[in-house]
């Protein structure tokens, strides 16, 4: 066997060895990746999973509360509509034991089914909450005012809403209602007054 043949054999053997090393290295890397993914798979204790679980619970809780308040028997207004009808345009703040008017701590929120429900469901569970009333004004702009305020929501807060249809009969004295709430009569030619979107924000403290 001449010198050139021996050189070709050595080169071929070396190439095969390098190829085999590359294959083995690739298999090791794939094995490491698979092991890492399995070792760090999400569990109920993982932060992102826990946050998603909490958000889902809050979403369900909020939907249940608003759905219960929005229910009405035949010929009667829902508790949610009554809260909008009885609103005096003021903002109320949770002080740790009651909902007090923002500008007057001596004035508590009275006859509010929303407040009663939050006090019974959210407060004992340490769930912070805000409630806003939103509507479309005469210029077609969405307006928003606080009804109950409990602080700035966290990143894992959820928002649930229910729409309340108001007629002129629901409002009563149109000018008085507008003066206190700033919710306008959307159509003065009909009995339709406006639609108020009740927005509840919930988050874990």
Residue pLDDT, tens place only, 74-83: 889 999 999 9
Residue ranges of the domains in the chain? Answer: 1-41, 48-204
Beta bridge partners of 197: 134, 163
Strand order of the β-sheet with 142-149 is 104-108, 99-101, 92-94, 142-149, 127-136, 192-204, 158-167
Q: What is the pTM of this model?
A: 0.74
Cα–Cα dist 156/54, whole Å: 8
Q: Above 80 in pLDDT, residue 23?
A: no
Cα–Cα dist 118/164, whole Å: 19
pLDDT per position as a tens digit, 145-169: 999 999 999 888 999 999 999 999 9
Predicted confidence band at 97 (pLDDT cuts at 50, 70, 90)? confident
Nearest to 148 by CA among 195, 78, 98: 98
Token digits of residue 27: 């298999």
Cα–Cα dist 92/100, whole Å: 5
Cα–Cα dist 13/7, whole Å: 10
């Amino acid at each position: 066997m001449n010198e050139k043949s021996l050189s070709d054999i050595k080169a071929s053997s070396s190439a095969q060895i390098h190829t085999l090393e590359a294959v083995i290295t690739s298999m090791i890397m794939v094995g490491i990746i698979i092991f890492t993914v399995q070792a760090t798979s999400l569990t109920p204790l993982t932060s992102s999973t826990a946050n998603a679980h909490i958000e889902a619970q809050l979403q369900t809780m909020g939907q249940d509360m608003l759905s219960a308040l929005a229910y009405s028997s035949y010929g009667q207004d829902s508790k949610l509509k009554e809260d909008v009808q009885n609103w005096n345009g003021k903002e109320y703040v949770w002080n740790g034991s009651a909902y007090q008017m923002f500008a007057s701590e001596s004035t508590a929120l009275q006859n509010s089914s929303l407040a009663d429900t939050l006090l019974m469901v959210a407060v004992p569970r340490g769930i912070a909450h805000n409630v806003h009333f939103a509507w479309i004004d005469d210029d077609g702009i969405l307006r928003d005012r606080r009804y109950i305020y409990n602080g700035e929501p966290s990143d894992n807060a959820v928002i649930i809403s229910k729409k309340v249809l108001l007629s002129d009969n629901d409002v009563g004295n149109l000018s008085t209602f507008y003066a206190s709430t700033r919710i306008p009569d959307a159509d003065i030619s009909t009995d339709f007054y406006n639609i108020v979107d009740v927005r509840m924000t919930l988050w874990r403290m």
